[in-house]
Amino acid sequence: MTRKQTIPTHAWRNNDKLVGIGNTFWDMSERNGLAGIVADLDVDAGTLRTRAGHEFIAAGHEFVNFSCCSYLDLDTHPQVIEGGIEALRRYGVLDHCIARSRVQIPAMLELEQSLGELLGATVVCAIAASTATFGLLPLIASGHLGNGTRPLMIFDRYAHISMANVKPVCADETEVVTAPHHDLNFIEDACKTYARVAYVCDGSDSLGGYAPVRELAELQDRYGLLVYYDDSHSMSAYGERGVGYVRSHSPILDERTIVVMTLNKAFGTSGAAIVLDGYDKQTLRIIERFGGALNYSQLLNTAAVGAGLASAEIHRTAELTELQNRLYRNIALFDSLVHTDQAGSTYPIRLVPMSDETVIEAGRTVIEAGFYVSPVFFPIVPRGTAGLRVMMRAGQTEEQIRGLATVLAEVGAPTAAAVEPEPVR
Ligand SMILES: Cc1ncc(COP(=O)(O)O)c(C=O)c1O
């Protein structure tokens, strides 16, 4: 007897495509020593040393990581490390395992208060930005986070996977569409048609560039558009006291703008901040109770809270500006040597374009020369936009940046002098 096969709808996702295409490149990356690397960090030298040998890379091979999002190197800052240890001692517990809506130790509340003061908003912490997004977007879809009306949810085509992954869940609560990248006309047309619209996008794209925050604010003003930004890549690296790109530029900081930022990039610790303005206590309770894993899963552990408190303190000092300026100087040096579409902006990520055929080989040559840059390819990026992703940090030295630029030129990256400079974005 033949038994029945299930028939997938594939309305919002398709693992056959994702795994089928993506896994080939991951396998190639791993075979070429560009994925699956295990390496020890030498904090003083700012380098990594591979633990195990590989067909192309020997054990003990030293390299500089140009693909790490700790843009200000705060993850290794002595005060941040000490903050984690001190909080563990102070609270005497790593993780008191019970839903926060029932009983919580005051550790995470302390961090929420500190971040709230830093960002000038109400902050709810989550264990990760992905977890926050998975909790919040369905509440926006059902109108419980917002003004009570179920919005048409527009996802930007390039919205980070942590947001795109939630489409099927949101689609069970409301109508969901995918828009061309930051297509303001598309959004405005929807605002004219639907009683309520929510737009979901990156504030700072993981592949470079910032969202049109001011133009979106005009639509927010005109139509009551709600915008959900993931501004993870600019937290700490951008703005006074590191408030990020969106909160530095959006004239609308009220209940129409919701920002989520990971604490795991330039902020240098773990977890995420949900940044809210204008929401009452009752809505905050709805988030805590019905934001999925925000309630039923673990909170930030005490070490992460302590590290976060220490990082927040650094954000209140001149050291933060000094680190941001060091980062910007390193970015400018890189831009003076290698041309990319992102050149001229303060954004810490650069994409050196390559073809699907050359990107792995190029990445291998670069790591052999002592620098790690991650090859990106479909489905990490849209088809036909493969390249080597370079991430700049405050702690990289001039010698390291020049060394990387030299080897990138060898693998075909256009040098800055060879092309017309792009206008500053
Ligand atoms: C835009 C964006 N959002 C979220 C994340 C993931 O953050 P978290 O680790 O806090 O879930 C990433 C990770 O690369 C990202 O690029």
State the Cα torsion 352-356-361-363 to the nearest 10°. Answer: 40
Q: Using CA positions, which residue lies closest to atom 7 of ligand 1?
A: 129
Q: Using CA positions, which residue lies closest to atom 9 of ligand 1?
A: 128
Cα of 104 from ligand 1 centre, angstroms:
26
> Which atom of ligand 1 is nearest the CA belonging to 204?
1
Cα of 138 from ligand 1 centre, angstroms:
18
Express as a percent the part of the chain with pLDDT over 70: 97
Does the bond joining 212 to the residue before it have cis omega, within 30 degrees of 0?
no
Cα of 66 from ligand 1 centre, angstroms:
17
Contact 135, 124 (CB under 8 A): no
Q: What backbone torsions phi and psi does residue 91 show, to the nearest 5 degrees?
A: -90, -20
Cα of 200 from ligand 1 centre, angstroms:
14
> Which atom of ligand 1 is nearest the CA belonging to 128?
10
Report the predicted TM-score, pTM, of the whole model to 2 decimal places: 0.94
Cα of 288 from ligand 1 centre, angstroms:
21
Q: Using CA positions, which residue lies closest to atom 16 of ligand 1?
A: 206
Q: What is the mean pLDDT of residues 234-243?
A: 97
Q: Using CA positions, which residue lies closest to atom 4 of ligand 1?
A: 129
The Cα 65–Cα 387 span in angstroms is: 16
Cα of 387 from ligand 1 centre, angstroms:
20
Cα of 232 from ligand 1 centre, angstroms:
6
Q: 228 - beta bridge partners?
A: 200, 258
Look at residue 425 in the predicted model and tell me its pLDDT.
39
What is the band of 2 on the pLDDT scale with cuts at 50, 70, 90? confident
Q: Which residues contact 362 (CB under 8 A, 6 or more apart)?
A: 354, 375, 388, 411, 412
> Which atom of ligand 1 is nearest the CA belonging to 127?
10
Distances (CA, A) of 340 to 111, 166, 383, 418: 38, 31, 18, 11
Residue type, 79: Q
> Which atom of ligand 1 is nearest the CA belonging to 131?
11
Q: Is the pLDDT of residue 205 over 90?
A: no
pLDDT tens, residue by residue, 147-190? 999 999 999 999 999 999 999 999 999 999 999 999 999 999 99
Cα of 292 from ligand 1 centre, angstroms:
18
Q: What backbone torsions phi and psi does residue 276 show, to the nearest 5 degrees?
A: -125, 145
Look at residue 84 in the predicted model and tell me its pLDDT.
98
The Cα 362–Cα 37 span in angstroms is: 17
The Cα 389–Cα 408 span in angstroms is: 11
Distances (CA, A) of 181 to 33, 202, 380, 409: 33, 10, 16, 30
DSSP state of 344: T
Cα of 100 from ligand 1 centre, angstroms:
23
pLDDT tens, residue by residue, 66-115? 999 999 999 999 999 999 999 999 999 999 999 999 999 999 999 999 99
The three-point CA angle 81-87-90 to 5° equals: 145
> Which atom of ligand 1 is nearest the CA belonging to 271?
10
Cα of 2 from ligand 1 centre, angstroms:
44
> Which atom of ligand 1 is nearest the CA belonging to 126?
10
Q: Is the pLDDT of residue 420 over 60?
A: no
Q: Using CA positions, which residue lies closest to atom 3 of ligand 1?
A: 232
Look at residue 115 in the predicted model and tell me its pLDDT.
98
Residues in the ligand 1 pocket, defined by CB under 6 Å: 128-130, 160, 162, 202, 206, 230, 232-233, 262, 264, 272
For a mutational test of ligand 1's pocket, the pick from 124, 137, 160, 235, i.e. the residue with the most ligand atoms closer than 8 A to its C-beta, is 160
Look at residue 419 in the predicted model and tell me its pLDDT.
52
Q: Is the pLDDT of residue 241 over 60?
A: yes
Look at residue 356 in the predicted model and tell me its pLDDT.
83
